[in-house]
Chain A
Amino acid sequence: MLSIKEISKSFTQRGLVLDNLCLEVNERETIAIMGPSGSGKTTLMNIIGLLDKPDSGTISFRGSSITDFTEEQSADYRNHNVGFVFQDHLLIPYLTVSENVFLPLLATEHSQEEIALKEQNSKSLMEKTGIYNLRDKYPFNISGGEAQRVALVRALVNNPSILLADEPTGSLDAKNAENMGSLLLEMNRDYGITIIMATHSFDLAKKMSKILRLEEGKLNILNEQ
């Protein structure tokens, strides 16, 4: 599904972060990427989400190269194929829960039928994740765990193929972290979403089908189920 070949990325202040890194991701696969702080996990996630570009190397999605996508193509790619979840839920404070969830629908034009379908899916997702009752509340009126679930539903509103989760439990307590991990797997199982997750939590990583370690710019397999 996703093929990353020999990508490198360096920053002026940090030097070389990714060094001829390669990664093959299959459909419905769940991958955890671990590594010390500053090892380049977020950089790799941003490159996969086309928020950032590698200095060299290629990235293919479902057999087509996406390395040289223009900014507009990158945005479309993200909108249709990628969902993002971050350590901080990054909910917009002046939008209600449902408005936050439906925010990605504004990024591009959709037909009425598409919107109706996506609204229906989102509602069921909201119900499934237990946030439907919170739909009219504002982010500052809900808990951290609830906010992160809202962020997850928002990431899935466009039925993406890949969910990129960057430390999704980093700011949650143990119980909520556990719930979040289960929810991610449920999404993978029920909707067939490929999950690529950067995390420091080995407990969460263990739930993924593959655990990779990013060190000195390269990925090494730690565990594979």
Chain B
Amino acid sequence: MPSIFQIILKSIKFYKKQIFYQVFIIVLLCAVITGSLLTGKSVKESLKKSASDHLGNTDILISSGIRYFDPELVKRLKDSTDLKCTGVLEINGFSQSMNSQKKAFNTHIFGVSSDFFAFQGFDTFSVKPGEVAINKKLADYLGIKPGEDLIIRFPRISAIPADAPFAPTIDGGNSIVLKVGIILEPSHIGNFSLSISQITPMNIFMNLSDIDDSHGGSNKINRLLINNKNANSLKSASESLKHYLEISDIGLKLRNIEKTGEIELTSDRIFIDGSILKEITSLIPESAPVLTYLGNRFVDGRKYNPYSFVSALPSSLYPGICTGNGMIINSWMANDLSAKVGDTIKMFWYSPDSLNKLIEKNSPFIIRSIVEMKGIWSDSLLMPDFPGISGKESCSDWDAGVPIKMSEIRAKDEDYWNRYRGTPKAFISYEKGNELLGNNFGPATSLRYPAGLSRTEIENRLNGSLNPEKMGFIMSDLSDESIKAANESVDFGSLFLSLGFFLILASFVLLSFATSSYFDLKRKSVKTLFSLGFKNSRIAKLLLLEAGVISLAGCSIGAFLGYLADILITRALNTVWTGAVQTNTLYSYFDLKSIIFGFVLTFLTILVFMFLKVRIYLKELNPKKKKGYVSHSTRLNLFLLITSAVVTISLFVLSMVFSDQQILFSFSSGTLLLLTLVLLWRQYFIRRITRGSDRMHNRNELSRLYYSFNPSNAVTPILFIAAGIFTVVITGANRMNNNDKQLRRSGGTGGYLLWCENTIPVKQDLNTESGRKTMGLDDNQLSELHFVQIKKTSGNDASCLNLNHITAPPLLGIDPEDFIAKKSFSFSKMLSSKEIKNPWQYLNLEPQNNIIYGIADQTVLEWGLKLKTGDTLVLKAENGRPLHIIIAGGLQTSVFQGNVLIGKENFTKYYPSVSGSQVLLVDGNRALIDLYQNVLNDRLENYSVNIEKTADRLASFHEVTNTYLSVFGVFGALGMIIGVAGLGFVLLRNYNQRKQEFAIMLAAGFRMKGIRRMILSEQVLILIAGVTSGLVSALLATSSSIKNSPDIPWFVIGLMVAAILITGLIALSLSVRSITKNSLITILKTE
């Protein structure tokens, strides 16, 4: 007796042709699913590899952010610990080939010391002074070769924040010409990067000695790289840093004050940051802050004394200092002003406002005492070491960083300078001084220690004890973070499963057709089993076991073919679909886990599918079920058809009338047209033919009569094809593009014309007359020009161009008033609040416990940052403190993509060292856009500006979405082609179901050719009906896009439709060919 398994194997052997179809479809299905999963894995692994290639031997990064530190710290760590480390100066700049004149914006410049390449494992490489090493990408981009000259421009390196009061004026940046020494291949750390991004950077490696400190100091660095990969590496690195960190490393120095016998601690940033001051005070409670400031005028009645220093002194060291608005002046000033005790003196000074713009303030003081210029009151060292003032021979040489009216400086003022230098003439309490003169850059210009405390003791108490984080250092396990960012990156596995949805659906449809055809063939065998007393469950088990064997075979092959699919997809992503990944460095990764998962997932899905299919099949076979032909109601169909047609026309009219809702209305009318056309076809098929006689006049009527009883056999394939074509065409036509809507105020450009990013900060206010004049933008033609000047911190690009999960995006400091006034940009989501209706207003809210509000593009929030409105993004402020940014709104795709927007005042508060503006958003007369671009390119050339039209910038973001749409389109078309190939099965099924009719027709003298032609023409009609219905509806649905977009890929869409039609015709022709006369004669036999 044969076993069940033997019966199954025999059945498979007997029906091998039909089984082959099923196996083939399952192979395809499993290959698509496994391929998608493997692609997801490949992208993740490629990102990890890319991160590893970019980092080289860097495991831990200690960064001082936008501040600098002394390379001595690296030397000390190297000499004293077993840490393998090196220091670099990382800056963004601009480069240009002297020969080709080609420019590269956003060049990553690394100032490296002699040990950098050794640290990365390349002992033989080095960058000599006067030379640079560049990576291959930059070399290719600029078309530059070794030995040729490269112009490099980058911001000036200065410890003093450019916007700080009394910082010397620095216009423009550094510009130097160096020779290209070597071109570094990616394998030779050429693509070194500390950013988390898969995009290959354009790198320049310079000798650190070629990057001058603006004030002649020693070369500073801002990144410390550590190669130490073990479980505790970050903790131990942090401990080592703390242990070996000295005050000199962060620009703090001690000096003896001879006049008082005290020791003073000053900073090369002029102002000592609040958090540093707090940390030092916690270590040495005797620390007493002093704040010395330049007053513009001291006015007593009609007399005034110009440009004199005032010191705010601590009462702990200066017990005689008065409180409140009391002021002590020295005898020189008293004589100059003829002032006496009790007089009121008005002090004027420049103070940075919340945006670090210097504004003149004043405050009245009452003279409490007049002191002789001796002892503690003649201390010239109270004046900080202002680089533009200290050491100058005369006042007229001052570069004070604030406007100085030289005409007001008298001979006696010069004489005072010559004799007493910056000795303050006025003294107020530290508390009052801090209240009036303290600013974003710090509350003190020095810390003083009482005479009893020795320099050595201070050093001993501070060195090795300062908390690096409070000193502005940010420590990160970059290696781990990169891997984490890659692991949490855009999930291409799910993405490709969604993009391949149509392909998967089509495979299931095809499998359904193939299985139904197969079951039709087995009908007799199954009926025999019934008649032999087999129960339904037993037959179902048999059929399911058979399906299991078939699926097993298909999935086994398909799972491994999935790897082939992965190779193809990865190759496509590196080439034709590179817009989605912005890199060509992806590689296909063989991951057994994904293969097994793909196999199991497909296998189980098919088993469930087969279980349902078998149940339906056995239900239909149930002899108790009455078979009969049911005629369908044409009235109901006609009613639905007319209703649908009326609504379609109404929506179309609405789309013509309401241009602002055109997309919605035209899409809805197109979708309904699809339904209308399908109903129209149904009406055509179910309507009985009315004629004057009993007989049919042609063979087509015969087909029509068949479908009038079986409309679903025609309407279902029409619906499937039409819906598929509809999807493919609208996907192609609805590519994101910069239509008029995007250029409007409410669109992604905000109505602005140009987006400028400059490497060297622009300090002038370009909306003022003086700012325009300075920059040469005061032509009449440019009168309509308006700028939104934006500050920017560096960070990891969080736009859709970066696949990684980003936790530290760049911040843009924005004054939203212009956007509010012009109603620029639109929000997808926003925080709900009764008080605040416009999300932009959140940006103006003052910080509460280091909590501020931010805004980002919704796509950035969802994909790059994985946050939603109301969530908090925690970043490090310039001084190392955590800054909590609550997301107040998600913008519709805009030019800001990749960044997080915060209020400009808050930006200035938390990142005071970022001076000027790095981004300009330009508004004006759209007709003059090209003129604006040319003029700005010319006038801002020294700022290494990269200017792009906002529409173009938006288009670059749309490229990613458009590539996804292309992938979806291709997969959709492929799915359609496969689905349409299934029409062959539909044809064979219809044929099998109607075999008797065709047999009797043959007996009645019909020719076989005629019968075949009849079957074929029915299916061709279905194919054409589906394609035209889908096409016409899709064209209506996308009519608004078609009108507004010149770049709809008509050729590709046409090609896809043609491919679908041709595949359908081929499948039908092949299937009809397989219909033989013998198969019909068999039906007639009764023996």
| Among candidates A86, A94, A103, A170, residue contacting B709 with C-beta atoms closer than 8 Å | A94
Known contacts: A90-B999, A95-B705, A138-B629. The answer to whether A104 contacts B1084 by CB under 8 A is no
A46-B1084, A102-B694, A102-B696 known; A79-B705 Cβ under 8 A:
no
Indicate if the CB atoms of B1004 and A140 lie closer than 8 Å. no
Residues on the A chain within 8 Å of B1083, using CB: 90
Separation of A71 and B1081 alpha carbons in the complex (Å)? 14
Q: Are B1001 and A107 in contact (CB under 8 A)?
A: yes
What are the interface flags for A27-58 relative to B under an 8 Å C-beta threshold, 1 for contact and 0 otherwise? Answer: 00000000001100111001001011000000
Interchain CB contact under 8 A, A37 and B1087: yes
Chain B residues with CB under 8 Å of A99's CB are: 694-696, 705
| B705 contact set on A, CB distance < 8 A | 94-95, 99
B640 at the interface (CB under 8 A from A): no
**Contact pattern, B 689-720, Cβ under 8 Å of A = 1, otherwise 0:** 00001111011001001101110000000000
- Does B1005 lie within 8 Å of A107, measured CB to CB? yes
**B1086 an interface residue at 8 Å Cβ cutoff?**
yes
Contact residue among B996, B997, B1086 (Cβ-Cβ distance under 8 Å from A167): B1086
The reply on A166 being an interface residue by CB < 8 A is yes
B1006 interface residue (CB < 8 Å to A): yes
Complex CA distance for A220 and B132, rounded to whole angstroms: 109
* Chain B residues with CB below 8 A from A87, complex form: 1086
Determine whether the beta carbon of B1086 is less than 8 Å from that of A106: no
Among A119, A138, A167, which residue has its beta carbon within 8 angstroms of that of B693? A119
Name B1003's contact: one of A43, A84, A135 (CB within 8 Å): A84
Q: With A94-B708, A102-B694 known to touch, is A84 a contact of B1085 (CB < 8 Å)?
A: no
Report yes or no: A108 in contact with B1084, Cβ–Cβ below 8 A: no
Query: Which residues from A are CB-within-8-Å of B694?
Result: 96, 98-99, 101-102, 119, 135-136
Binary A-proximity of B1003-1044 (CB < 8 A = 1, otherwise 0)? 111111110000000000000000000000000000000000
Interfacial chain A residues near B702, Cβ < 8 Å = 92, 95, 103, 106
Chain B residues lying within 8 Å of A52, measured Cβ to Cβ, are 1081
B1006/A38 in contact, CB under 8 A: no
A93 at the interface (CB under 8 A from B): yes
Contact, CB under 8 Å: B695 / A119: yes
Select one of B629, B696, B1005 contacting A78, CB under 8 A.
B1005
The reply to whether A88 and B693 contact each other, CB–CB distance below 8 Å, is no
Chain B, Cβ-Cβ closest to A97:
B694
Question: Min CB distance, B522 to chain A, in Å?
Answer: 20
Tell me, in angstroms, the Cα distance from A136 to B695 when the chains sit together.
Answer: 11
Answer whether residue A154 sits at the interface, using C-beta atoms and an 8 A cutoff. Answer: yes
User: How close is A96's CB to chain B, nearest CB, in angstroms?
Assistant: 7
- Decide if the interface of chain B is mainly helix, strand, loop or mixed: helix
Contact B1086 A86 (CB under 8 A): yes
Say whether B628 faces chain A, with CB atoms less than 8 Å apart: yes
Contact B1087 A41 (CB under 8 A): yes
Q: Is the CB of B1086 within 8 A of A166?
A: yes
What is the chain A residue whose CB lies nearest that of B706? Answer: A94
For chain B, residues 612 to 668, give those with C-beta under 8 angstroms from any C-beta of chain A: 628-629
B696 contact from A82, A106, A158, A166, Cβ within 8 A: A106
* A36 nearest CB across to chain B (Å): 10
Cβ distance B333 to chain A, nearest Cβ, rounded Å: 115
CB closest residue in chain B, given A37: B1087
Say whether A23 faces chain B, with CB atoms less than 8 Å apart.
no
B1006 contacts A170, C-beta separation under 8 Å? no
Question: A96: nearest residue on chain B (CB-CB)?
Answer: B694
B window 984-1012: CB within 8 A of A: 996-997, 999-1010
Q: B699 to A51, Cβ gap below 8 A?
A: no
CB distance from A69 to the nearest CB of B (A): 12
Within 8 Å CB of A43, what residues of B? 1087
* A206 contacts partner chain B, Cβ-Cβ < 8 Å: no
- CA gap between A115 and B696 in the complex, in Å: 11
**A98 touching B695 in the complex, CB below 8 Å, given contacts A38-B1087, A90-B996, A170-B1086:** yes
A75 within 8 A of partner (CB): yes
A80 at the interface (CB under 8 A from B): yes
Q: Among the listed B698, B710, B1005, B1081, which residue makes an inter-chain contact with A79, where contact means beta carbons less than 8 Å apart? A: B1005
A105 at the interface (CB under 8 A from B): yes
A155 to chain B: closest residue by CB: B1004
Q: Which residue of B lies closest to A38 (CB)?
A: B1087
B694, B702, B710 — most chain A CB neighbours (10 Å): B694
Residue of B997, B1006, B1007, B1084 near A92 (CB, 8 A) is B997
Q: Find out whether the CB atom of B629 lies under 8 angstroms from the CB atom of A154.
A: no
Q: Would you call A76 an interface residue if the criterion is a C-beta within 8 Å of the partner chain's C-beta atoms?
A: yes
Residue A190 is within 8 A (CB to CB) of chain B in the complex: no
Bound complex: CA of A105 vs CA of B694, how far in Å? Answer: 12
Min CB distance, A14 to chain B, in Å? 10
| Least CB separation from B998: chain A residue | A92
| A157-169 interface bits toward B, Cβ cutoff 8 Å, 1 = contact, 0 = none | 0100000001100
**B603 smallest CB distance to A (angstroms):** 37
Question: Which of chain A's residues has its CB closest to B698's CB?
Answer: A106
**What A residues does B996 contact at CB under 8 A?**
88, 90, 92
**CB nearest neighbor in A for B1080:** A51
What is the CA–CA distance of A78 and B1002 in the complex, to the nearest angstrom? 9
The digit string for A105-136, where 1 denotes a CB below 8 A from any CB of B, is 11110000001000100000000000000011
B1004 adjacent to A72 (CB under 8 Å): no
Contact of A51 among B706, B1002, B1007, B1009 (CB under 8 A): B1002
From A52, which residue of chain B is reached at the shortest CB distance? B1081
Contact B1004 A103 (CB under 8 A): yes
Q: Which residues on the B side are within 8 Å of A155 (C-beta)?
A: 1004
In the complex, A135→B695 CA distance in Å? 11
CB distance from A95 to the nearest CB of B (A): 6
**A103 and B1001 within 8 A (CB):** yes
What CA separation (Å) do A119 and B996 show in the bound complex?
24
B696 & A103 in contact (Cβ 8 Å cutoff):
yes
CB distance from B710 to the nearest CB of A (A): 8
Query: Could you tell me the distance between the alpha carbons of A96 and B701 in the complex, rounded to whole angstroms?
Result: 13
Q: Take A94-B705, A98-B695, A166-B1086 as given contacts and tell me if A108 and B1081 are in contact as well, using a CB distance cutoff of 8 Å.
A: no
Query: B1069-1086 toward A: CB 8 Å interface, digit per residue (1/0)?
Result: 000000001000101111
Which listed residue, B693, B706, B1010, B1087, touches A42 by the CB 8 Å rule?
B1087
Q: Which residues of A contact B708 (CB under 8 A)?
A: 94
Cα-based distance from A93 to B1003 in the complex (angstroms): 17
Query: A75 with B1007: in contact, given A94-B705, A105-B695, A140-B629 (CB under 8 Å)?
Result: yes
Query: Closest CB of chain B to A68's CB: distance in Å?
Result: 16
Tell whether, in the assembled complex, residue B699 and residue A106 are in contact, meaning their CB atoms are under 8 Å apart. Answer: yes
Q: Which of B693, B696, B710, B1083 has the most CB of A within 10 A?
A: B696
Cβ–Cβ contact A84 & B696, under 8 A: no
Min C-beta distance of A118 to chain B, whole Å: 9
Inter-chain contact A80/B696, CB cutoff 8 Å:
no
- The residue in chain A whose Cβ has the minimal distance to the Cβ of B994 is A92
> A104, B1002: Cβ atoms under 8 Å?
no
Q: Which residues of B contact A101 (CB under 8 A)?
A: 694
Interface contact B1081-A51, CB-CB below 8 Å: yes
Q: How far is the CA of A76 from the CA of B1007 in the complex (A)?
A: 8
Closest Cβ–Cβ distance, residue B459 to chain A (whole Å):
104
Which residues of the partner chain A approach B1077 to less than 8 Å between Cβ atoms? 51, 71
Between A and B, 21 residue pairs with Cβ closer than 8 Å are: A42-B1086, A51-B1003, A71-B1009, A72-B1007, A79-B1006, A82-B1005, A84-B1084, A86-B1003, A90-B997, A93-B629, A95-B702, A96-B694, A99-B695, A101-B694, A106-B696, A106-B699, A106-B702, A107-B1001, A107-B1007, A115-B695, A166-B1086
Known: A51-B1081, A71-B1007. 5 other contacts (CB 8 A): A86-B1084, A92-B996, A94-B629, A98-B694, A103-B696
Interface residues of A (CB under 8 A from B): 37-38, 41-43, 46, 49, 51-52, 71-72, 75-80, 82, 84, 86-88, 90-96, 98-99, 101-108, 115, 119, 135-136, 138, 140, 154-155, 158, 166-167, 170
Q: Give the 6 A-B CB pairs with smallest separation, nearest first.
A: A79-B1005, A102-B695, A98-B694, A104-B1004, A84-B1003, A78-B1005
Query: B residues near A, CB below 8 A?
Result: 628-629, 693-696, 698-699, 702, 705-706, 708-710, 996-997, 999-1010, 1077, 1081, 1083-1087
